[in-house]
Structure 1
Amino acid sequence: MKFVLGALMLSSAWAGGAIAQDVPERDDAATGQRQEIVITAARTNLPVSALPLTVDIIDRETLARQVTVSGSVVDAVSALLPAFSPTREKITGVGETLRGRSPLYAINGIPQTTPIRDGARDGYTIDPFFIDRIEVIYGSNALQGIGATGGVVNQVTVSAPKGDGWSGRTLLQGNAGDDFSGASLGGKVAGLLNFRSGRFDATGGVAFERRGVFLDGRGRRVGYDGNQSEIQDTDTLSFFGRAGFDLSSTARFEVIANRFRLQGNNHYVPVDGSRVRGIPATTRRGQTPGQPSTGVAQMVSASLTDSDLGGGAFTLQGFYNRTSDTFAGGILATFQDARIAPVGTLFDQSRNVSRKLGGKVSYERAVPGFEALTLTAGFDALLDRTAQTLVQTDRTWVPQTDFRSLAPFAQGNLKLFDGVVRLAGGVRYENVQLDIPDYTTLATANARFVTGGKPSFDRALWNGGVVLEPVTGIRAYGSYAEGYTIADIGRVLRGISQPNIRIDNFLDLTPVISNNREVGVEVTRGPLIASGTYYRSSSVAGQVLVRNDDGIFNVVRQPIDIDGLELNLDVRIPLPGLRVGTGYSHVTGRTDTNADGILDADLDGANISPDRLNLNVDYNRGPLSARVQGRYYLSRRFEGQPIANDFSGYQLFDAYVAYDLSIGRVMLSVQNIADADYVTYYSDTQGPTDNARFYTGRGRNFTLSWQAGF
């Protein structure tokens, strides 16, 4: 396979701008027929076969079942896609990667990531009950602007009802740890109501979820992250609304609103473990000092679309997005200030508040008289204002900073030889400016006064690619795409400790440009779905997370090279309703730690995922469906890193069984069915002397759910 992929290597790519494309879904297990669905994250109406991209679609049915097993969108994506790293099993996404780089989370194409001070909670901004499907575009690209150095994870919300009248669905579920103790009990109730009358339609929904404590494979309570906060022992309350009006048979105006709030219940406090003795961190009953850790995400968007405006497709979208994240606190070294309290006694916690305003406009049309060539042009704008403060002492940690991005783009796609060959290419021009006020750093950064400024950069991001489809169902492609982000500015600003600093002269706003080269082969013939992809992603001035002793990360700019191979096979075997699948991801990453121009060390576990093998067996026939899935995370030695950070590997198995009744669907799922006792990947590969963050993973967990629609 490596030889085949290598022989197909081409230097070109896609990174233009989004609306809709048809992409084949996996085979329907009951009919054996392939279905076409619309993907919105690729910003084109062309079919996916015309684009040199690797794309995965997680439909609502698959997502709903996987979320019942694993509990969240992030865990579901990680469980299903081998190229996604193991999650930390916490609310924070620090160290969670796609193809060794950070993915951009979006809702209907609206970015959830904060470019100035990444709070790393962008995977928890909407309840999965309101998501119709998830579109994953692999590899660095600029499809949605800043942040997609690893790819795009776009969460598409529920669609408008088709028929007049009322419709809806409900969900009731409960879950418990292996001992069924009261502390581990949790549950969820959710409902969604639709209405359509002629051209007008509306949807409203609410979801409430309570999570108990997590138990590991030995029945111990899983340790709490006293810095980044937790997903266990929390309550989530979410609201969703959508209203639309069909202006014509092709034009539509729509408004969508979402509010997501997750708050800790403060029933437990952390208890350190001992790495030397092999005792993991845990918790005990008690109230966490300070305010409860909380994450609030609010979003409103309005869109106007017309699929036949002047013979082309037009999209106009505007949005407002606000997040407020309060982190769990601690007597952390970074927060100490002898002017306020004796060093080693000062408790504090931080809050990250971000507000985004943005707009997108695009138009796509085949060239009149030369319909083989499709052109897309558009313009994106994003204004982000972010500040991070310390809650208990009202100190500024990251000053209120404004980020402005203006980006016109153009893309072309040329069909040759009746579609046997496709050429794609284009450019996106990014113009970015920051506005940073004067501020003073914390005492632990020497309380330095910093003179603000307005650093900026502009950069053209190029792409090009070729697709070959000699036979229907067999496709090969090669691509080159540039994605970009900027180093976490907040981490840089709060870490300044030198005197007489002026931002205009100090801050290196050189973007992290990730150059993604990729070749792939896909086969979809009869009962077989198979693919193989080789990619290489490099950055001359990359972004590497380096961990302090207190668990807080700093950003270091170092060259990065990442190579990876992905193989996937899905087969419908002769037994009715039965399907088996496997997926494999191999990734390596190297960096230059001493600026001598030589890549001398592996990227560690905070920056790259382990090799991994997925296996699954699905049965779907009549009212009965079931699945057993296994994830094998393979051991890894990180050359150039401390031996204590080597990864020993572990295996996890999950299962579910569902049955359709006349009154709805009943499903029983079991996470970690073997009740494996393991240290999570992140904990195993970071902080070899950090006993506070020596976390085991979640043990066997049962979930019973009932869902019905009308």
Structure 2
Amino acid sequence: MKLATCLIAAGAWAGSAHAQDLSGTDGAGGTSRDDIVITAARTNLPASALPLTVDVIDTEALARQVTVSGSVVDAISALLPAFSPTREKITGSGETLRGRSPLYAINGIPQTTPIRDGARDGYTIDPFFIDRVEVIYGSNALQGIGATGGVVNQVTARAPREDGWSGRALLQGNAGDDFSGDALGGKVAGLVSYRGGRFDATAGATFERRGAFLDGRGRRIGYDGNQSEIQDTDTLSFFGRIGVDLSDTARLEIIANRFRLEGNNHYVPVDGNRATGTPATTRRGTTPGQPSTGIAQMVSASLTDGDLAGGAFTLQGFYNRTSDTFAGGILATFQDARIAPVGTLFDQSRNVSRKLGGKVSYERAVPGFEALTMTLGFDALIDRTEQSLVQTGRSWVPQTDFRSLAPFAQGNLKLLNGLVRLAGGVRYENVRLDVPDYTTLASSGAQFVTGGKPSFNRALWNGGVVVEPMTGVRAYGSYAEGYTIADIGRVLRGVSTPNVRIDDFLDLTPVISNNREVGVEVKQGPLTASATYYWSSSKSGSVLVRNADGIFNVVRQPIDIEGLELNLDTLTPLPGLKLGFGYSHVNGRTDTNDDGLLEADLDGANISPDRLNLNAEYAAGRFSARVQGRYYLSRRFEGQPIANDFTGYQLFDASIAYEIPVGRVMLSVQNLGNKDYVTYYSDTQGPTDNARFYTGRGRNFTLSWQATF
């Protein structure tokens, strides 16, 4: 609670991050903030009615930021101070929102794999097909399992509103600071839509080639031979949608997406040397085994009616399949003397997950008591996941089924003509796991494990109050429970004792994170300001602990996290110039020796550094520009190795754009100052791991042409 004093001081001028304007417009595409509907919140009420901390990154802001940094994950990390620095790899392991893992979703469809988290859920759709990104902060169960840090919902391109043909196109080229051939990349993308009366259809495709990444000294950045890479890859993506307006309020829609990212195998890793400060790099060569690949396929069908018996009805069904092949290595975990001499066996793993799910909800004001809006719904999810070793055909995580059934109810009561709103609800989770008999790898003793069907039932509550004493000034307080389960795959594959029975061994107790927050918001004239103080706790949390070979295990430990977020945006007396400021402080504690005391800080794999964001935007006529700075502040992790202390660094990005007769030309520069730095994750993890001693990306140029028609 030590931050409470800071909050009171900040409360005089700031407030919660409700639908914070990140784009230079009012929320989502120029709509008034109070009219924004956050689809990930499972309600048609505007964001102003909800005791939630929410940011909306609209189409313009997202397109500009993706041009700078290349992905939705990088864009979110750059814009939102509460999001940790990315690893600059394809894996999202260790990337957190408010110190916990976020749930990535596409149109509300979860991308996270609960059984064996492959940590690639931020790379399942091309950002060209995304209309906006909704970020709900803090633990919640609005979308089910996984949102202990919040929800990152990617809303796909909307259907055309007028009859006829329309679309958009993108051409871009990318180069490192020295414009060498190794570091060149490019992207081409197109999306075409047609509407005729009540019928509409959309189809799109993108292709992107990424070259090698160079650091601030022009060196090739090290290649992650375990978790795989985003550099030196090709991505081919397809998107389609067919919709029919059944009436003025009802719509049937089918959406399909296929995303494939594959490594080009042009480089092999070269270890660095932490003692001398020499970072890991690469050399030309062919990576052994199959190319690292990430494939995500999704089909969803939805039926919505905004005026069914006076309420809003939503029915959604979906199929989602991911297949992730990881780059391999001669890792201790993979060794088996029955196959090859120990220390010589190369292998790599593949994680395959298939999800089937459905959601139904109905929302309306209670007849005769119109001030109360109720939402009732039911969610179902069935996930089947298996992780195998590609080269030897061994099973690492057995084919395991996860089933979740969850009814929920939410209420929102408007009092005193909107001066006060009370909100709250409950979600009841019924979860069962089905694990077959299996045998662990030789490195775990080749133990035979008797399968089982562990389960749990849990009610997850939320509640809050919103007070708006005058137009443009509001305050709120809330409590919400979110949940996940520890990475079951890591637990199953790590069994090393004989005669284990899953029903007796597996701790399926959910990680329940209790999120409490208070905040205020002020929007007066040219000024928008906000502050939020939050604290969350888990009696039996889930902490990643790194092995010597870089593979993580899950340890159940109690966790306490608290933080403060400040944001300020203001127009200036100079027409067209807008300034922005953001700050995030977060602190996490855990019990590493099981003595009941939280004696150690969470390390860099589980918590982000304190951070300051500054930005300036200018627009005049056809010309616009933006410059932004991120200050990652130094950090000492009490109770962790001194070698994992974080020294901090600063990064600046810039972009300029000009509207031409056909489209817009934009030049973006990432890491404008060509800062040479070790990434946050590498700096705070594995103090003796020379293979994963990575520097960050140096100055990088992107020239793009975008057009709509």
Distance (Å, rounded) in 2 between the aligned partners of 1:405 and 1:463:
19
Q: Select 1:28's aligned residue among 19, 25, 29.
A: 25
Distance (Å, rounded) in 2 between the aligned partners of 1:94 and 1:43:
27
Structure 1 match to 2:101: 102
Structure 2 match to 1:539: 538
**Cα offset, 1:46, TM superposition:** 1.0
Q: Secondary structure at the match of 2:556?
A: strand
Distance (Å, rounded) in 2 between the aligned partners of 1:559 and 1:356:
30
Give the letter aligned to residue 332 of structure 2: A
Distance (Å, rounded) in 2 between the aligned partners of 1:279 and 1:25:
38
Give the letter aligned to residue 232 of structure 2: D
**Cα offset, 1:37, TM superposition:** 3.8
Structure 2 match to 1:404: 403
Residues 23 and 317 of structure 1, relative CA distance in 2, 3 Å threshold: farther
Residues 33 and 425 of structure 1, relative CA distance in 2, 3 Å threshold: closer
Contact 2:23 / 2:57 at 8 angstroms: preserved in 1? no
**Cα offset, 1:472, TM superposition:** 1.1
Q: Deviations over 1:117-162 (max 9, x none)?
A: 0000000000000000000000000010000000000000000001
Contact 1:22 / 1:47 at 8 angstroms: preserved in 2? no
Query: Which aligned pairs between 1:423-572 and structure 2 lie closer than 5 A?
Result: 423-572=422-571
Residues 298 and 29 of structure 1, relative CA distance in 2, 3 Å threshold: closer
Distance (Å, rounded) in 2 between the aligned partners of 1:567 and 1:464:
23
Q: Does 1:344 align with 2:318?
A: no
Distance (Å, rounded) in 2 between the aligned partners of 1:33 and 1:645:
45
Q: Secondary structure at the match of 1:654?
A: strand
**Cα offset, 1:28, TM superposition:** 3.0
Residues 235 and 285 of structure 1, relative CA distance in 2, 3 Å threshold: same
Distance (Å, rounded) in 1 between the aligned partners of 2:240 and 2:198:
17
Give the letter aligned to residue 68 of structure 1: T
Contact 1:24 / 1:34 at 8 angstroms: preserved in 2? no
Structure 2 match to 1:645: 644
Give the letter aligned to residue 28 of structure 1: T
Contact 1:97 / 1:150 at 8 angstroms: preserved in 2? yes
Contact 1:27 / 1:33 at 8 angstroms: preserved in 2? no
Residues 544 and 23 of structure 1, relative CA distance in 2, 3 Å threshold: closer
Structure 2 match to 1:159: 158
Contact 1:484 / 1:511 at 8 angstroms: preserved in 2? yes
Contact 2:23 / 2:58 at 8 angstroms: preserved in 1? no
Contact 1:29 / 1:620 at 8 angstroms: preserved in 2? no
Q: Deviations over 1:406-450 (max 9, x none)?
A: 000001111110000000111000000000000000000000000
Structure 2 match to 1:666: 665
**Cα offset, 1:7, TM superposition:** 10
Q: Secondary structure at the match of 1:541?
A: coil
Distance (Å, rounded) in 2 between the aligned partners of 1:531 and 1:8:
9
Residues 276 and 516 of structure 1, relative CA distance in 2, 3 Å threshold: same
**Cα offset, 1:540, TM superposition:** 0.0
Mean CA deviation greater in 21-30 or 551-560:
21-30
Residues 338 and 178 of structure 1, relative CA distance in 2, 3 Å threshold: same
Query: Which aligned pairs between 1:232-251 and structure 2 lie closer than 5 A?
Result: 232-251=231-250
Residues 7 and 584 of structure 1, relative CA distance in 2, 3 Å threshold: closer
Give the letter aligned to residue 558 of structure 2: P
Contact 1:103 / 1:150 at 8 angstroms: preserved in 2? yes
**Cα offset, 1:34, TM superposition:** 3.9
Structure 2 match to 1:14: none
Q: Does 1:310 align with 2:309?
A: yes
Contact 1:29 / 1:578 at 8 angstroms: preserved in 2? no
**Cα offset, 1:337, TM superposition:** 0.4
Structure 2 match to 1:149: 148
Structure 1 match to 2:270: 271
Distance (Å, rounded) in 2 between the aligned partners of 1:435 and 1:87:
34
Q: Does 1:291 align with 2:328?
A: no
Structure 2 match to 1:200: 199
**Cα offset, 1:492, TM superposition:** 0.1
**Cα offset, 1:620, TM superposition:** 1.7
Contact 1:22 / 1:38 at 8 angstroms: preserved in 2? no
Distance (Å, rounded) in 2 between the aligned partners of 1:87 and 1:458:
34
**Cα offset, 1:478, TM superposition:** 0.2
TM-score normalised according to structure 1 size = 0.97
**Cα offset, 1:113, TM superposition:** 0.1
CA RMSD of superposed structures (Å): 1.6
Give the letter aligned to residue 229 of structure 2: E
**Cα offset, 1:24, TM superposition:** 7.8
Distance (Å, rounded) in 1 between the aligned partners of 2:597 and 2:165:
64
Distance (Å, rounded) in 2 between the aligned partners of 1:490 and 1:461:
24
Number of matched residues?
A: 699
Residues 520 and 116 of structure 1, relative CA distance in 2, 3 Å threshold: same
Structure 2 match to 1:707: 706
Distance (Å, rounded) in 1 between the aligned partners of 2:74 and 2:474:
30
Q: Secondary structure at the match of 1:576?
A: coil
Runs of 4+, deviation exceeding 2 Å: 1-9, 21-39
Q: Secondary structure at the match of 1:41?
A: helix
Percent of aligned pairs with the same amino acid: 83
Distance (Å, rounded) in 1 between the aligned partners of 2:657 and 2:24:
19
Q: Deviations over 1:172-221 (max 9, x none)?
A: 00000000000000000000000000000000000000000000000000
**Cα offset, 1:608, TM superposition:** 0.2
Distance (Å, rounded) in 2 between the aligned partners of 1:313 and 1:575:
45
TM-score normalised according to structure 2 size = 0.97
Structure 1 match to 2:579: 580
Give the letter aligned to residue 418 of structure 2: G
Contact 1:174 / 1:704 at 8 angstroms: preserved in 2? yes
Gaps of 5+ in 2: 12-17
